[in-house]
Amino acid sequence: MVALVQLWLPILTSAVAVFVLSSLVHMVFKWHNSDYRALPNEEEVRAIVQKNDPAPGEYLLPYCPGAETARTPEFQQKFRDGPVGMLVLRRRGAPDMGKMLGLWFLYVLAVNLVAAYLATRAFPSGAAGLGIFRLTSTVVFLAYVGGSVQNGIWMGKPWRSVAKDVLDGAIYALATGAVFYWLWPQ
């Protein structure tokens, strides 16, 4: 059996590969830029939100405290009248890209660690074949894609945007699987 510590090189190498690929996706190819739109009255919306100064968090429009409220005719009218959606507010100030990129890299490492752990349970040292590739790429694919699909179902994320996230996940999964296949201990 392969010890998890023996997989430090594929874990780290595939994390760097995914980090680089995700940077290319977002900073060079920019295929997610069209996923976001500006409100036609952005300044008015900003002024209202700023005036009320809500804490960072997730907000629902219309907000519904429970199923009983949701069934009332008045609340059903709110749904018909719109808007219906979710608003996510962050803390004031420019986003801390260094922190977010660092957290992204830690997440990628954690995903790879789980894939590596499962691979150590499934394959012995010196294992050959595409099984290592298939297992590790499947695990990381599910990790990178699952949240986006859930957001498409429950939060109304546009399916075109979800499809792009699935493509991203497939690219990251292929890279991770290839690295694990290539660097599996012999």
Is residue 87's pLDDT more than 80?
yes
- Tens-place pLDDT, residues 122-155: 998 888 779 999 999 999 999 999 999 999 999 9
Per-residue pLDDT at 127: 85
Report pTM.
0.91
3-state DSSP assignment of residue 186: coil
| Residue type, position 154, single letter | W
Is residue 94's pLDDT more than 90?
yes
92-107 residues labelled b (16+ CB within 10 A) or e (exposed): eeeeeeeeeeeeeeee
Rounded to an integer, the average pLDDT of 176-185 is 96
3-state DSSP assignment of residue 85: strand
